[in-house]
Structure 1
Amino acid sequence: MWKSWMSIYFLNYVTYYCIITDACLPGYFGPNCAHLCNCRAGSTCKVTGQCKEGCKIGWSGPLCQKENVAYNKPAYQKSDNLTSAELAVDDDISTCAVTLTGMPGWWSVDLGQIYMIKSMFVLTNRLMNLKGVQIYVGREKNMFQMTLCITLRVYGQQASVTCDVPLIGRYVRIINVSGPVILCDVAVYICSSYFFGEECGNQCNCANETEMCNPYTGECSSGCAMGWTGKYCNTECLYRYGQDCRNRCGHCAEGVRCDTMTGFCEEGCEPGWKGIRCDQPCENGTYGENCLSKCGHCRQDEACDVVSGNCRLGCEAGYMDNRCDTVCPHGTYGEDCVFECGHCVHGTICDKVHGFCPAGCHFGWEGVFCSQTCLPGRYGRNCHAECTGCLEGICHPETGKCSKGCTSGRSGPSCDDGCQSGRFGINCEGTCERCKDGEACDPVTGICQAGCLLGFSGSHCLTGCDQGLYGPNCTKKCGFCKKGTVCDSATGLCPDGCVEGYNGDRCMQGHVFNDDSGPQVKIFLGVTIGVVGTMMTIVITCLVLIWQREKLPKKNPPKQHKTSTPVKETSRSIGDTEFGDDVVVV
């Protein structure tokens, strides 16, 4: 819509421009090429009518539209026997018209047609003073039918004359009642058609383009043209436009005035307004110069400021800055991007509005926003993995590495490997290399299920046999190894041989006695028999005493006088089977 209006305005402007420039024939200018250039020969007027080399003779003013209608017109005076009266209108100030001296004189010019006359110029020489000179204007040549324009009240030899009121006439008469008339130059000025003002530098601004306004005031009977106002239609609209400046300009860019005729803003609109006249505010959702910018993402669908684009209530989720047109930077989300994203997998971007991680959480994090670390005993992406083999169930939430080591039978950084053969226990630090036949022990308990190697005992086969034992689980006793040595705990062999009297691989077999054994054997046997006999005698004696004490009655013996008669003792042979009841063995 805006572009279409601008296109129409541009076409109208181009048409108008062509009319007042290139479309005009040489020597003409202005709207409809109605104005004639009055430039000096060889000079052309510009678009405005200004002549680069100046005006031609008889014309003056900024646009060369101020005409001297007295130039080269018929003139006469009271007495012309001295000089010609027309020397005053030849545009040569070196020649003068002079009346007869010694008496009052007068001078007159016939303009050839009736004009509205108000402005004139009079030049004399040092022989005449213009003070008291009277100027008349009339339709008829008869002096008595003329009207006084002005009586000059200034001393000097030249005067720019303005009639007290504009007068209609064809004839102009200058009278000096104090003496002769000496005139070197007389000019009667009028503005050419459609121009007005003291220097005829203003074009008429009438509503009716064919009307010629008052040449002195610019007043138009048809009213003022669009863009002009005032009693005389000579006041250009200021920040207003149209007929009598009734319409106020819109919001043109940089405070530039709109076109006084159309109201168009040639430089565009200031921020917040649009349209060819910049009188339409920006619609909801747009802002800036000519409303070409779109609002950002304001909170609650609020309309942004039409000038700056700022969002008064702040930004909706996912956007930031005053205009809410900047997406949240990496790692933030929410309204005005005040919230930080959680730990999305591989550093991916979280949702700018809600903050959730579309691809899931990074290793060691969980929750809707991936902002919660894994609970104890869990690890990995979204905390889906369990710390199954870790001691006390604690592992690193990201890597799964067991910080306190592995439970019995487990190994590896994450304790998800079993123990190698021959190892067991926490972190597989225990060794079980002494199981029978090289079999592996239980990786958790370390127990050798098949038993131990020869020479070791215990559930974990870590204990060597005690001195004097050997074999499986140390269940066999060593033989009679040479004094100061013990048998091999695995085989039972005596490394330095057996004690004297034993032989065999393990020194468990004794020697057979014979004469070949030498005197040592005989001595040993004699000693042994003697010791055994003595011990048997002592044992038998003790048994007899015990029996006697248990079988004999206990009687108090009668008091007897001391005699020297010995008691008669009887006894049986030791070889008998029984002893007598009265036999006491001492």
Structure 2
Amino acid sequence: MPNVAVLCCCIFAVLHFTSNVLAYADLAVDGRYTNLTLYGGQCAWAYGGQTADLEWRVDLGEVKRIHHVFIHYADGNSVWDKNKSFPKYFLGFSVYISNTTNKEDGVLCFRDTIYTRATISNPVNISCHYHGRYVIYYNKMTHPPDPEDYPSKIGMYLCEVEVYGCPILGFYGENCSIPSPQSYFCHIIEGTDLGCLPGYYGENCSLSCPQNCFCHITEGTCLGCLPGYMGLNCNEKCGENTYGAECKQSCGRCSNGEPCHHVDGSCPSGCNAGAYGVKCKQSCGNCSSGDPCHHVDGSCPSGCNAGAYGVTCKQPCGDCYNGDPCNDVDGTCPSGCNAGAYGVTCKQSCGDCYNGDPCNDVDGTCPSGCDAGVYNGDKCDIECPEGLYGPNCQNKCNVNCAVSARCNIKTGKCIGGCQPGWKNSTCDEKCGNNTYGVECRQSCGNCSNGEPCHHVDGSCQFGCEAGVYGKKCDIECPAGRYGRRCYETCGDQCQGCNRFSGVCDLGCLPGWTGQRCDEPCTFGNNEFDQVIYMRLFSNFFFYFND
């Protein structure tokens, strides 16, 4: 491998993101990675949702010949292994090389499709033998269903990204010492032709394009203007404080409002007060007494105002005890942290310690354990995974929750209520009092011997009481039927057959008697016969007296 130089140390980095948290994108190219915690002042990080795209990129200033990319991930200053939380957020990442800020305009250098928590290493070196100006780190959740090791939400925790290669395009090989032809890109190690440089075309890239044009690689026709130029014939320099490709980039705050260089955006006479960098696009930090920062590197000559620290005074102090200012160099808090914060710079938040106790302000440990809904050993800073709740996440959500085993991580209360047939906040009790179904709102009854109905569907396990039938014993016997399951048939002579007992509530038809009107009458034993007898006897008596 050739002795290649670091191309991106201290060059401004931009984090392009669609996440809800962002912290110091430029810390991933500051040359420091001795403290690999999120709040140690040396790492860039972002955290997104289930559908977030996270993208970080570094601008090398111009097109460079790249050899490899070194990436060091956050590890919390602990051993990197599959049981820790950080490795899963590294899975599935990609590295692109592009001449624009759009990764789709460049080439895919690497995409992880094979690593697991157990096999991914930290740090990692990515071989990347391409030319480009921007190195782009990208991560996105894969298309569901995701592999088992992948996190439910995407995160990016970069402590250092170093890009190695030959700093001058015209050289390759050992020590980047072998001159390459001026008209084409060559392989950084072998020197083989990888395509024409802008401005050349034809066989062996030996012909020059029309001035200031990108031209067709074989025909030489103008396809567009080189960076810094515009117009039909590409003979006009960018104007109106613009520069670069298609004149789409805006100049920075150049001194006295001077226009920037039309090609690279540099400011020929330096920056206005409050800005720094070659292009004067970076703002000074919180320098002491409002002093201007250094126009090249942004450093504050007299230190920082209270509340800021670092070389450029851009990093805010943490939650120092009693509002004390932090050290303006390294951000340490001289008297420790306020309750709820911990770490050397007091930028890390305590977890949910038991009963709201403050954590240790040095290492974040909880003296009396965790409150309900969290775990993670002695720091209590990770929420219970789905399906668990309570202190140290020791309890399982009830399978009878509306969405099975989903509940409040602190109380166990089921999210969305209960499945049919269950009640209470944790869905641990069956419906009772002759109720069943969703929220126990449906009524039941009439089961045999007063047995309760089934708590889910209202069915009667041992059949129905007399007078009703059906799975739920909720249908009355039809006319002419009575008894258990309505199996018994009322007699034809019965009027108003009782569906429970079969008794004829409205009496019998003439000639019949009994509770169910199932006994035929005999002479003298019913009201009709007695009336006829009395009439006959009365007529006979009257005749006798004549």
Higher RCO by CA contacts (8 Å cutoff, separation 6 or greater): 2
TM-score for both structures, normalised by structure 2: 0.34
Higher strand proportion, which one?
2
TM-score, length basis structure 1: 0.32
The structure carrying a bigger helix percent of its residues is 1
Larger Rg: 1
